[in-house]
Amino acid sequence: MAKKEEKKAPTVVAPNPRRVKAITKYLRIAPRKVRVVLGTIKKRPVMEAMGVLSLLNKKGAVMALKTLKSAVANAKNLGLDEKRLIVADVRADGGPVLKRFLTRSMGRADRLLKRTTHLTVVVCEGTKFWGGTMPEDAKAKQKKKAASAA
């Protein structure tokens, strides 16, 4: 009896292959504290964002830097140029809330909400080049523009 050939499902291509993301879940910090830090790096080049995060004296900055480095590593793995990466989108969404109680006087109790965060960082490849020398294709285009203008 011959084996029947199984049809393989077509491979799914990402809607925008030039956008790469990294997600860190269940961080033990409130989302509103992380959002203060994320506002400083939105729409910046990745190298500049890493510098800003490394200088901030906040717990959320350390977590955001770790997630940003993971997104850059994912982008490099997919063949994107590290020096052209821009922080396209950063989000701090609320995760599950740990509910605890704090005992008070006269038999009462107060509720403590220990919030968690899901942090998402999306990087994309931009047109500008960050630092150093320009790549060869960009140099050739500039020479071509200068020759056509003259």
- The three-point CA angle 20-25-30 to 5° equals 115
Closest residue by Cα to residue 54 from 42, 75, 43, 40 = 40
Q: What is the DSSP letter of 6?
A: P
Domains parsed from the chain with CATH numbers? 19-130 (3.90.470.10)
Q: What is the pLDDT of residue 26?
A: 97
Chain mean position to CA 66: 9
Q: How many CB atoms lie within 10 A of CB 12?
A: 6
CB 95 within 8 A of CB 27: yes
- Model-level pTM? 0.75
Q: What is the pLDDT of residue 2?
A: 56
Take residue 76 and report the two structure tokens written for it: 């490099």
Quote the CA–CA distance of 12 and 148 in Å, as a whole number. Answer: 42
**Tens digit of pLDDT for each residue in 28-79?**
999 999 999 999 999 999 999 999 999 999 999 999 999 999 999 999 999 8
- Which helix (H) or strand (E) segment holds residue 8: the answer is none
Is pLDDT above 80 for 83?
A: yes
**Tens digit of pLDDT for each residue in 89-146?**
999 999 999 999 999 999 999 999 999 999 999 999 887 766 655 556 666 777 777 7
pLDDT band for 8, please (50, 70, 90 cuts).
Answer: low
